[in-house]
Structures are given as C-alpha cells and as structure tokens.
Amino acid sequence: MSTKDILKENKLLIIGLGALALVRPVMKMTGVMDLIGQQFGSILMTILISLAWLVIVWAKRVTHPVAILVGAGLSYALFAILLSGIASPIIDGKLQGPLTNPLALVSVFVTNAIWGLLVGFIAKAFNRKGS
C-alpha cells in the first residue's frame, strides 16, 4: 500500500489527531498556559498530546503509525497556522504568527512533521513488541 493510499484511507484519523493537538495553542490563547507556566505547560502538553496520539493509534491498531502520525503533525501545523491567522487579528488587532513570515511557515510544518515522525517511530516500536 502506498503512502498516498495510507493517508487517504486514514484521513479522518489524521485530521482528528491534528485537531486534538490544538488544545495546546488554545490553552495559550486563553491564558490557561500562564496558570501552569509557559515553558512547563508547553512541554507537558506536548507530552500529553504525544501520549494521546500513541494510545489512539495503538487502540485503533493502525498498520502504518509513522505515516499517520507524520500526517497528524502536518495537519496540526496547518490547523495551528490557520488558528493563528484567524485569532491574532481578533486578539491583537493585527495579523501575527507564521503567516507573516515564510520561514516561520516552513518551520512550523517541518517541526510538526518531525514531532509526528518521532511519535510514529515510538508507536511502531510498541506495535512490534505487541505483535
């Protein structure tokens, strides 16, 4: 099965996992992250989201967790960029974030693809042990 077929077959899962990760920027925008500390909160939420991704792909017994989680990372990147583009003018009165800087735009996609790749390899290792 090609990567394109894997992504097409699992697009709702990929979109759902990406949307789940939006909890982190929403917590930041609403000030919840300030209550637990920006640095600690960001790390904690990344770990919790990663664990949720792992549990979900494990529970669904996906056969290609790396491709699916890279897709989830990329879908999250797209959602976060769109959220920033919509919310920053409302909250700050002007457009801010990755949409204002092409290098930042690329960086967001690359960083989140790598995040999905790392979590995907962990999921693949767990799948192998469980088989």
* pLDDT mean over 29-40: 91
Q: In the structure, what pLDDT confidence band is assigned to residue 109 with cuts at 50, 70 and 90?
A: very high
25 pLDDT above the threshold of 90: yes
pLDDT at 131: 46
Report the sign of the C-alpha dihedral through residues 108, 110, 116, 119, in that order.
negative
Q: What is the mean pLDDT of the chain?
A: 93
pLDDT at 8 (0 to 100): 87
What does DSSP assign to residue 94?
Answer: S
What pLDDT is stored for residue 40 in this prediction? 93
42-92 pLDDT, tens digit each: 999 999 999 999 999 999 999 999 999 999 999 999 999 999 999 999 988
Residue 51: the pLDDT is: 98
Residue 129, pLDDT score: 64
Helices 11-20 and 65-92: angle between axes, nearest 10 degrees: 50
In percent, the amount of the chain with pLDDT more than 70 equals: 97
What is the predicted pLDDT for the residue at 7? 81
Burial class (CB in 10 A: 0-12, 13-18, 19+), 129: exposed
Instruction: Please check whether residue 121 is in contact with residue 68, taking contact to mean a CB–CB distance below 8 angstroms.
Output: no
Q: Which amino acid, 38?
A: Q
The DSSP code for 22 is T
The DSSP secondary-structure symbol of 63 reads S
Residue 2: pLDDT band by 50, 70, 90 thresholds? Answer: confident
